[in-house]
Amino acid sequence: MIEILTINKRSIKLHTQLFINGEWTDPKQGKKFDIEDPSTGKNLVARKAFKTWSKTDARERAKILFRLADLMEQHGDDLIAIECADTGKTFKSCTAIDLPASVATIRYYAGWADKIHGTTVNTPGMMAYTRREPIGVCGQITPWNFPLLMFCWKIGPALATGNVVVIKTAESTPLSALKMAELIKEAGFPPGVFNLVSGFGKTAGAAIAKHMDIDKVAFTGSTVTGREILKAAATSNLKKVTLELGGKSPNIIFDDADVEQAVKWSSFGINLHMGQVCHAGSRIYVQEGIYDKFLKAFTAEMKSRTVGDQWSGSDQGPQNSKMQHDKILSLIASGREEGATVHLGGNKIEKDGGYYIEPTIFTDVRPEFKIMREEIFGPVVSIAKFKTEEEVLEWANDTDYGLAGGCFTKDYARAVRVSEALRAGTVWVNMFNFLTGILPFGGYKQSGIGRECGEAVLQNYLETKSVYWNM
């Protein structure tokens, strides 16, 4: 079924079905796609495709991935329009970040396809070497906050290394992946190598997690769901699991920081995509000597942010859904009830029926408050005052999460000490929320298992085989 979507005055044709074995398939016509039947797994089209894709010359795999990246650029305007309409992302942010980062991801892994190799070891009288082989059929489950980018983070390394994928997008944001499926077909991936399911988590997502003929699951989403996936994998076929989960990242501003830079990056740290970012800097700790100065400048920056729809050129768009909007408001209410001070904002914004929230700053917070412990996923930040480095590091690490963190200081020795002390997978010094996709990304503690991005993610998609050969 092809639907014509009118988005921001663009008319975009989009298939709105499942993409299985190289064809658009409508489940309502009784075509039951295999991943919904976890008990058999025998007809999984992806399994057949794996036999040939895993043996396809790596340079050919690279060529098709490079072609996909080119097609993404050619259809960039449609991808941006779809992504903004589906998520509420601002047009300027999606144009500057989501699309270019997604294209770069596909190109980066296209470049890796023909550079996968094992090692030989000098062993007298025998040949001893390793081979690195694709794992097989990979189930991939993505969240709603960065649908296009997370899609590319997932399929890029999997397809480059010779695996085949069955990917399930988040129920509230399936559209950019549907557009990508069209481009994937056009790029020339053989049928069955890429399969897309736009289903619900508890049905399609859970079916992937417990499927007996899926060899690996790569999940990005909440810690609660990550736990379910791990359980399902453990009680089915012990498929390999990698998890990219939530965060509650600390951002530490020391007395000697450049205040202008600290304000600029801390604002980006909490406001990127309306705070709906797993590594958002949602806990800001400011040293006492600079506290008043920072708070004044940061408040002015938060106040200056314009709020409006995705297309209006505003700094901040709507939250992704009514559910998220209401969840943010209830966490703001909990902050008030527990005794924090609403220094700025704290309310919804009534505007065209959209899901807008005022940029919000809490002060007088305590470590045990919900707003200091739980992901808010909104433009809501808590600011606390600290005295010593030792004290702030203890507070910063007092969290179940460990995705990211950062500090602002001109003292290099202190920057090194803080980078080492933070129990988090990514640390920023004098910046925040900046990723290239080339360094590994992932979480300590309950923020995940394994790493995405860079060379590091390749090992998630490869088995290593040791071969001993008596000559």
Which CB, 409 or 446, lies closer to ligand NAD? 446
Report how far apart the first and last C-alpha atoms of the chain are (Å, whole number). Answer: 59
**Residue span binding ligand NAD (CB under 6 A) among the ranges 16-24, 185-193, 205-213, 250-258:** 205-213
The closest of 194, 193, 160 to 57, measured between CA atoms, is: 160
149 vs 306: CA distance, rounded Å: 25
Q: Which H helix or E strand runs over 126?
A: strand 126-134
What is the smallest separation between the CB atom of 268 and ligand NAD, expressed in angstroms? 17
Which residues on adjacent β-strands are paired with residue 128?
Answer: 121, 468
138 is catalytic: no
Provide DSSP, 372-400: HHS---SSEEEEEEES-HHHHHHHHT-SS
Instruction: Determine, following the binding rule CB under 6 A, whether residue 331 of this chain makes contact with ligand NAD.
Output: no
Which residue number, 308 or 378, has a Cβ lying nearer to ligand NAD?
Answer: 378
Contact status: 78 vs ligand NAD (CB under 6 A): no
Residue 32, Ramachandran bin (φ over 0: left; ψ between -120 and 50: alpha; else beta): beta
246 binds ligand NAD (CB under 6 A): yes
Chain-centre distance for alpha carbon 301: 27
Instruction: Tell me if 205 contacts ligand NAD by CB under 6 A.
Output: yes
Q: Does 225 bind ligand NAD (CB under 6 A)?
A: yes
Segment lying near ligand NAD (by CB under 6 A), choices 1-9, 239-247, 289-297, 343-351: 239-247
Query: From the CB of residue 187, how many other CB atoms can be counted at a distance below 10 Å?
Result: 20
Using the contact rule CB under 6 A, the part of the chain among 58-66, 176-184, 245-253, 364-372 near ligand NAD is: 245-253
Nearer to ligand NAD, 22 or 442 (CB): 442
Among 209, 361, 376, 462, binds ligand NAD (CB under 6 A): 209
CB of 100 to ligand NAD, least distance (A): 18
* Distance (Å, whole) CA 97 – CA 222: 23
Residues in the chain, overall count: 471
Report long-range pairs for 111-115 (Cβ below 8 Å, ≥24 apart): 111/62, 112/157, 112/160, 112/161, 112/455, 112/458, 113/58, 113/59, 113/61, 113/62, 113/65, 113/160, 113/161, 114/58, 114/59, 114/61, 114/62
* Of 31, 42, 115, 202, the one binding ligand NAD by CB under 6 A: 202
Given the residues 152, 278, 407, 453, select the one marked as catalytic.
278
Q: For residue 101, which of 150, 155, 36 has the smallest C-alpha distance?
A: 150
Q: How far is the CB of 324 from ligand NAD (least distance, A)?
A: 8
CB of 75 to ligand NAD, least distance (A): 23
Q: How far is the CB of 6 from ligand NAD (least distance, A)?
A: 26
Give catalytic status of residue 244 as yes or no.
Answer: yes
Task: Given the residues 228, 244, 389, 452, select the one marked as catalytic.
Answer: 244
Q: Which of 82, 175, 178, 206 binds ligand NAD (CB under 6 A)?
A: 206
- In the complex, the smallest distance separating the C-beta of residue 224 from ligand NAD, rounded to whole angstroms, is 6
Number of residues that bind ligand NAD (CB under 6 A): 29
Binding site for ligand NAD (CB under 6 A): 141-146, 168, 170-171, 201-202, 205-206, 209, 220-222, 225, 228-229, 244-247, 278, 375, 403, 443, 448
**Active-site annotation, residues:** 244, 278
